[in-house]
Chain A
């Protein structure tokens, strides 16, 4: 049965439709893998009974000739930031203790309607705030990749549980969310494919909000094709989210033609940051060489405000977080710590319920939004954001897509970087600008570093042009031919 967990979504779909195995068998293989992989702490909540029921329903549909499409019967993980009806939803925070939503998020409902099987809710940084999956109330996730030095590595964050589960073959795919790099950076660290769609491509309804002007759901899987299949089910306009775009959802997998002849690929000069490791720079050049061999044309572009993106991001994201997280007050759901007055109850609940990083960002956000500082910090950051987005718009007048690294290094060890928030924030230096501009971007595994850890390259597209991103990514995947397996699977 182990072999069933090693398939891709596309291959599993073909097997299901050819009757080589059933959704129940495919699901049992993954439930067994999930149990065997508990040491990674990739799941906060396992839902084997729901999975078994959904698999059975899928097999019944198929037997009746009513299979729903390529995702029918496919077992996936759901980041524990998506509300799932009747299933504990924690955002990896103590403050959501016991919260069982009375509804499904739009994205998870659509995935369910497409016939997917939910294996469980995957671990993450608390409220999706982090780059190492170190801030979860339910403990850190351990990457299935061990480095040559033998030390455990972080899976990246915030969608670290999803990335680890997919990389360790505990799930065929998973949902993630990306506010400043939370799909792309863990995908790179875990050697899988992760796509952050254009802001507005997927509904945010029912996803625990962190920074509403940046948050976007997206798929994580082991191949570009699988990501395309998942995205098609996740995307689409939703009347419940006014920021979801009323744009038709294409057949993303059909974009994988392998033909990128004549496409112009921008190489942003500003991403050669000082101190960037040589192997990242070499991989980047290699990536461009692969695309060039396939007939694409590299074009130097400039994104002059890149260096200001991180500070802009942390002001805007903290401000929005302080506002969004005001709802956790011990009244309607989750933790309540009693107090003599209403204010004291609020303060006790929030003092006990939020972890250190969440508290820091809420305080930071409260400060930059407070009277006397609003213009100096928040409004200033919003103006710089306009300039950052304009840089990308100018670049896209000359090119069809951009190619850049995902993170300044491979996954770090648990004892690195943890005591300095600013050093930790630097992990996001290559992903944050794209989030600020709301653009689609996908990370594809491209090689290994000297320690044997995976590195991914990032392809960025024009708004709502995920198809070009996928097309270029497909060519890169083929050229890179990454076959290395995480140590967990060896």
Chain B
């Protein structure tokens, strides 16, 4: 199914990526081509086939429910573009 420019606008917002309006047509074409190519999967009969969520044929390893680190606020904030009062700072969210 071909994607139109409105769909590109919608998914770009869902992905929180600014896409300039003039780039929408090109992306719609590219994505349509890839999606169209991927639709070959409809040829495969998957009736009754379980979707694979993990390739490893093992149950997930569980570790003890223990605190293993902490008290490292400075290291956590080390790479933050903006810090205020020991917290990550972001543009105002609540008016």
Interface Cβ pair total, 8 Å cutoff: 172
Name B56's contact: one of A199, A338, A362, A366 (CB within 8 Å). Answer: A199
Q: Judge whether B12 is part of the interface by a CB distance below 8 angstroms.
A: yes
For residue B13, which residues in chain A have a CB less than 8 angstroms away from its CB? 347
Tell me, yes or no, whether A245 is within 8 Å of chain B by CB. Answer: yes
Q: Are B51 and A383 in contact (CB under 8 A)?
A: yes
CB-based contact B52/A389 at 8 Å: yes
Distance in Å: Cβ of A395 to nearest Cβ of chain B: 16
With A243-B54, A367-B7, A387-B46 already in contact, the answer to whether A315 and B38 are too (CB < 8 A) is: yes
Asked if A345 is at the interface (CB within 8 A of a chain B CB), the reply is yes
Q: Report the separation of the CA atoms of residues A345 and B91 in the bound assembly, to the nearest whole angstrom.
A: 8
Take A311-B41, A340-B91 as given contacts and tell me if A366 and B15 are in contact as well, using a CB distance cutoff of 8 Å.
yes
Binary CB contact string for chain A from 7 to 19 against chain B (1 if under 8 A, 0 otherwise): 0000000000000
A347 and B17 form a contact (CB under 8 A): yes
Beyond A102-B75, A347-B16, whether A213 also contacts B54 by CB under 8 A is yes
Q: Do B31 and A367 touch across chains, with their CB atoms under 8 A apart?
A: yes
- Among B7, B43, B81, point to the contact of A330 (Cβ < 8 A): B81
Output the least CB separation between B91 and chain A (Å): 5
Chain B residues with CB below 8 A from A354, complex form: 17
Q: Contacts of B80 on A, CB cut-off 8 Å?
A: 331-333
Which residues of B are found within 8 Å of A383, using beta-carbon distances?
44, 46, 49-52
Answer whether residue B35 sits at the interface, using C-beta atoms and an 8 A cutoff. Answer: yes
Interface residues of A (CB under 8 A from B): 98-102, 199-200, 213-214, 237, 239, 242-246, 305, 308, 311-312, 314-315, 322, 326, 329-336, 338-348, 350-352, 354, 359-360, 362-364, 366-368, 370, 377, 379-387, 389, 421-422, 436-438, 463
Q: Hey, which bits of chain B sit against chain A, CB under 8 A?
A: 3, 7-8, 11-19, 27, 30-31, 33-35, 37-38, 40-44, 46, 49-58, 60-63, 72, 75-76, 78-82, 88, 90-93
List 20 A-B pairs, Cβ < 8 Å. Answer: A102-B76, A199-B55, A239-B61, A245-B61, A308-B43, A315-B41, A331-B88, A341-B91, A341-B92, A342-B92, A350-B16, A350-B17, A362-B15, A363-B8, A382-B51, A382-B52, A386-B51, A389-B52, A421-B30, A436-B55
